[in-house]
Amino acid sequence: MIANATHELYPSASRRETAPAGTILLAGRDKSELNTLSRLLDDTYDVFTAQNERTALYILKTRSIQLIISNMDLGHTDGSELCAQLKTSVHYAHIPVILLIAGGSSRIKGLDSGADACMESPFSGEYLRAQIKNLLTNRARIKDYFAHSLYAHMGSSSKEKEKFLHKLNDFISGNLQNIDLDVDTLAKLMNMSRPTFYRKLKSVSDLTPNELINVARLNKAAELISTTGHKVCEIAKMVGFNSQSNFGKAFLKRFHATPTEYQQMTAPTLYIA
């Protein structure tokens, strides 16, 4: 049982009169500072607090956190170590992290950890709120784009066909690392014969099954490049390419940029003095 977990697993008392604009986790050893930040943000967001890494990870596992703000001091570890751990996790790498730093070496550690933004103390509450809004808005745009880009090839709006597409997308998304994912595998997952699957897909898409799989792989790769600190070679394997060369060629054809160029264009890291 985590110390003080009961208190920390509930959002702070809120002054909001409307639905929250997001859910934020504040991490830091100094409880007074956590309370100050919580009061600054709880009129807009649901805010959870954690005074150490263990509690922060527990909250991440049990709550849907959309953004993390961490002080460098977390007791036995620091914010940059927590950030580095999250940015190498397939479960949490997409969550924006703001590190509150003291400058100098902290800035370097923040850079190495893959933080989305570093804010050096002292900073204004207005600046912090603007940074949070910006990161959440950018992540929402990225998520919306990649959620809809695959369906741009679909030509149906009936509930039955939408259900089919969502089920198909879930199967593809859940099996992207499988380099052997093919038409027969998808048909089996969808509980259909190969001919029936082909006919069903043809009625709602202008892509073949293999093209659909390829689009899904590349869209996921672009999302990971934009929102995580993984190396390109790692991402290629994560989305089911067994050849980095083939991955690079396919990515260039779809996005008109190499994975490295795309990474540079969409790099999210900001450093605020």
Closest-CA residue to 29 (of 77, 76, 74):
74
> pTM for this structure?
0.55
Domains held by the chain: number: 2
Among 58-67, 74-83, 109-118, 126-135, which stretch is predicted with the lowest mean pLDDT? 109-118
Range of the domain at 214: 155-266
Same domain for 102 and 186, yes or no, is no
Q: Determine which helix (DSSP H) or strand (DSSP E) holds 237, and give its type and residue range.
A: helix 232-238
pLDDT digits (tens, 9 = 90+) for 221-249: 988 888 888 889 999 999 999 999 999 99
Give per-residue pLDDT as tens, 22-34: 899 999 999 999 9
Kindly state the DSSP code that residue 156 receives in the 8-state scheme.
Answer: -
pLDDT grade for 270, boundaries at 50, 70 and 90: very low
Given 106, 139, 172, which residue is the final one in a domain?
A: 139
Residues 66 and 167 in one domain: no
Task: Classify the phi-psi angles of 191: left when phi > 0, otherwise alpha if psi is within -120 to 50, otherwise beta.
Answer: left
Q: CATH number of the domain that 50 lies in?
A: 3.40.50.2300
